């Protein structure tokens, strides 16, 4: 009986730990002087666009909490993978990203669970050729929700804890 509950208990503890770490390590709110710098940067970008310069400056938006993905092998929990993501987006998308965050998290979890079920987190899972399909799938999921204003999804942190 306890052997059947152990994977569930570990999953709950791992999820709680990931959420706790995400909350504890959340960045402090920006002071007002940084907000003014952001406005100046936006003005400069608009001026560059008007001058015909093609340089697009993206903003990076951190997804609030980490994602905890169980890796199941032979009907047993083998490991937990913890992933932190950020979005590379067009300027002024932060409010929209936060408004859509529950839907984005659902889509990202679906992609991460599919990747885990296909064996994407086994072995040397951090090799670039192993992560590339995951990166593409995450980007397509984000663009499916928010459109082409999302340029990329960045895997900021990834770790696996074997059970």
* pTM: predicted TM-score of the whole model, two decimal places: 0.66
SS (H, E, C) the chain: CHHHHHHHHHHHHHHHHHHHHHHHCCCCCCCHHHHHHHHHHHHHHHHHHHCCCCCCCCEEEECCCCEEEEEEECCEEEEEEEEEEEEEECCCCHHHHHHCHHHHHHHHHHHHHHHHHCCCCCCCCCCHHHHHHHHHHHHHHHHHHHHHHEEEEEEEEEEEEEC
The string of pLDDT tens digits covering residues 107-139 is: 999 999 999 999 999 989 999 998 999 999 999
The boundaries of the domain holding residue 11 are: 2-162
Q: How many domains does the chain have?
A: 1
Q: Does the pLDDT of residue 98 top 60, yes or no?
A: yes
* Higher pLDDT pick, 3 / 70: 70
Q: Does the pLDDT of residue 69 top 80, yes or no?
A: yes
The string of pLDDT tens digits covering residues 10-32 is: 667 666 666 656 666 666 555 55
């Amino acid at each position: 009986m306890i052997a059947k509950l152990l994977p569930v208990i570990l999953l709950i503890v791992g999820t709680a730990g990931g959420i706790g770490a995400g909350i504890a390590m959340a960045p402090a709110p920006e002071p007002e002087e940084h907000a003014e710098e952001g406005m100046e940067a936006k003005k400069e970008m608009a001026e560059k666009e008007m001058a015909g310069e093609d340089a697009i400056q993206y903003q990076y938006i951190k997804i609030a909490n980490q994602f905890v993905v169980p890796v199941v092998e032979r009907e047993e929990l083998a490991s937990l993978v913890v992933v932190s993501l950020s979005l590379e987006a067009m300027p002024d998308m932060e409010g929209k990203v936060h408004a859509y965050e529950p839907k984005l998290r659902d889509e990202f979890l679906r992609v991460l669970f599919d990747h885990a079920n296909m064996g994407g987190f086994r072995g040397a899972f951090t090799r670039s050729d192993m992560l590339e399909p995951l990166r593409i799938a995450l980007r397509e999921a984000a663009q499916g929700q928010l459109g082409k204003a999302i340029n990329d999804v960045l895997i900021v942190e990834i770790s696996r804890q074997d059970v």
